[in-house]
Amino acid sequence: MATNKRIALIIAFQGFRDEEYTGPKQVIEAAGIEVTTVSTQSGTATGKFGLPAKVDLLLNDLIIADYEAVVFIGGPGSYALRDNPTAHKIARETVKQGKILAAICAAPGILANAGVVKGKNITMFSDDGSAARGGANYTGKGVEVDGNIITATGPETAKAFGQSIVRVVINR
């Protein structure tokens, strides 16, 4: 069931969480939606547990208008994107264009630091205070959908996170 829809998965070049990348990617592709893997460097990114992921596009080259959704994948490497001006610009532009913006595990901290979750219900791997700093309400649910913002807690919710993204994208 191919569609003309595309989703960008943004991963850290080193230390993204393997299951948080593969789980949603498999679900999204099974729905016939094209996935583009985006990172800060070209080549092959490496997950926390050694998973190789071919980078299709550099973060600086991402054009939001080409995608239905932008998804930030968590893991220890995602902390490097929390204060990345390009990641913040992408998050803000995704919201401005009315696209789906999603993040899992530690990555919702990127959204909070970008200032795009004020007044939103979000979840993440733990309430580290970044939700409150971003003006969001931390719910602690496995997956949280609040309008165009979708967040999830971590590896155990990765497939459900992917399913939520697909559901929202297809029902638009």
Has residue 121 got a pLDDT over 90?
yes
Has residue 65 got a pLDDT over 90?
yes
How far is CA 118 from each of CA 3, 106, 160, rounded to the nearest angstrom?
A: 32, 17, 24
Question: Which three-class secondary structure string do you get for 23-54?
Answer: HHHHHHHHCCCEEEEEECCCCEEEECCCCEEE
Q: What is the DSSP string of 57-111?
A: EEGGG--GGG-SEEEE--SGGGGGGTT-HHHHHHHHHHHHTT-EEEEETTTHHHH
Topology classification of domain 6-170 = Rossmann fold (3.40.50)
Instruction: Give this prediction's pTM.
Output: 0.97
Written as one letter, the residue type at 166 is V
Residue with tokens 């679900």: 27
Share of the chain above pLDDT 70, in %: 99
Mean predicted confidence (pLDDT) in 125-141: 86
pLDDT at 3: 76
Average pLDDT of the chain? 96
Has residue 2 got a pLDDT over 70?
no
pLDDT at 1: 58
